[in-house]
């Protein structure tokens, strides 16, 4: 009896150790299609939804594009500005040498929304969520590739936080999640690209003044309702916002290195 108990303990220990993955390469094509809050867990991926939810309730769906390509769809239901979470399998504690890359978009016809990557120490408690950078504002219905450096941490779950800040029934989608050592762009270089993008609204609120060694390739500005209101390049380190009405705006900046950085500002 003691021998059986010992073997059982050893088997459980081995299973627990095996559950921690060093890298992730997930295209979701082996997931079972479905819609609703009962679709997960699947393949060690789990979800968390807001405690108070309107009707219809939020969902995390597995949907298909054609017969083989599958991806994850976050639907906010009758909720606005309420986060939903998709949680990865347990990873080996990050040491700061890896990057997470994934594709994201809003569904055609949906209001724009945001996705933010972070780490959590518990897959069931999102008060432990710590963001790994700014949220990406998804205003296009074409998949864009996003890459976020993962800092050293004792937290062992990668979390995708979806928010529809502008309207209920927001539908956001992600695919092709890869968590691995960055081969072509080091974490230090990628952090530098993010840190180099610094701007401020000037005193008379007519321009955004950028402080960086290289000018961004392109700038797009969206209203709080998700409509693109401006696009262009810098002129003498300034981006003209004199024609914009008073309010909050989202800005998507394509850096000189080809990285995409999302931020926001208030025009007074």
Q: Return the structure tokens found at 149.
A: 């450096």
What confidence tens digit (pLDDT) does each residue in 119-135 have? Answer: 999 999 999 999 998 88
Domain count, the chain: 2
Asked, for residue 1, whether it belongs to a domain, the answer is no
Last residue of a domain, one of 185, 205, 221: 185
Q: What is the mean pLDDT of residues 14-35?
A: 79
Last residue of a domain, one of 185, 212, 233: 185
Asked, for residue 180, whether it belongs to a domain, the answer is yes
Residue 223 DSSP SS3: strand
Q: Domain span at residue 55?
A: 19-185
Nearest to 28 by CA among 40, 17, 36, 20: 40
202 and 180 assigned to the same domain: no
What pLDDT score does 192 carry?
45
24 and 107 assigned to the same domain: yes
Name the band, by pLDDT with cuts 50, 70 and 90, for residue 70. very high
Given a cut of 80, whether residue 261 has pLDDT beyond it is no
Report how far residue 28's alpha carbon sits from residue 26's, in angstroms, rounded to the nearest whole number: 6
**Model confidence pTM above 0.75:** no
123 and 147 assigned to the same domain: yes
What confidence tens digit (pLDDT) does each residue in 219-251 have? Answer: 888 776 667 789 999 999 999 999 999 988 878
What confidence tens digit (pLDDT) does each residue in 84-103 have? Answer: 999 999 999 998 888 898 99
Name the band, by pLDDT with cuts 50, 70 and 90, for residue 214. confident
Q: Which residues contact 105 (CB under 8 A, 6 or more apart)?
A: 138, 140, 141, 142, 143, 144, 172, 173
We report the CATH number of the domain holding residue 84 as: 2.60.120.200
CA distances in angstroms from 148 to 117, 132, 203, listed in the order given = 8, 7, 32
We report the CATH number of the domain holding residue 208 as: 2.60.40.10
48-53 CB contacts, 8 Å cutoff, 24+ apart = 48/84, 48/85, 48/87, 48/124, 48/126, 49/84, 49/85, 50/79, 50/82, 50/83, 50/84, 53/77, 53/78, 53/79, 53/82
CA 145 from centroid of its chain's CA atoms:
10
Residue 143 DSSP SS3: coil
Asked, for residue 10, whether it belongs to a domain, the answer is no
What pLDDT score does 13 carry?
39
């Amino acid at each position: 009896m003691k021998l059986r108990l010992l073997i059982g303990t050893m088997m459980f220990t081995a299973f627990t150790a095996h559950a921690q993955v060093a890298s992730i390469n997930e295209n979701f094509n082996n997931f079972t299609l479905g819609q609703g809050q009962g679709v997960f867990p699947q393949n060690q991926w789990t979800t968390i939804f807001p405690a108070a939810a309107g009707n219809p309730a939020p969902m995390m769906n597995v949907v298909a594009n054609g017969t083989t390509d599958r991806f994850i769809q976050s639907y906010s239901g009758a909720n606005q500005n309420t986060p939903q979470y998709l949680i990865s399998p347990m990873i080996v504690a990050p040491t700061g040498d890896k990057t997470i890359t994934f594709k994201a978009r809003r569904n055609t016809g949906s209001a724009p929304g945001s996705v933010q990557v972070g780490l959590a120490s518990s897959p069931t408690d999102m008060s432990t969520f710590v963001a790994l950078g700014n949220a990406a504002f998804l205003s296009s219905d074409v998949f864009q590739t996003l890459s976020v450096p993962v800092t050293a941490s004792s937290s062992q779950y990668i979390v995708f936080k979806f928010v529809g800040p502008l309207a209920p029934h927001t539908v956001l989608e992600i695919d092709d999640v890869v968590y691995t050592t960055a081969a072509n762009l080091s974490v230090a270089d990628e952090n530098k690209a993010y840190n180099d993008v610094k701007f401020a609204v000037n005193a008379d609120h007519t321009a955004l003044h950028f402080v960086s060694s290289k000018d961004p390739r392109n700038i797009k500005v969206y209203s709080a309702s998700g409509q693109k209101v401006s696009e262009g390049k810098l002129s003498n380190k300034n981006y003209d916002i004199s024609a914009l009405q008073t309010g909050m705006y989202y800005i998507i900046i394509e850096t000189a290195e080809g990285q995409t950085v999302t931020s926001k500002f208030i025009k007074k």
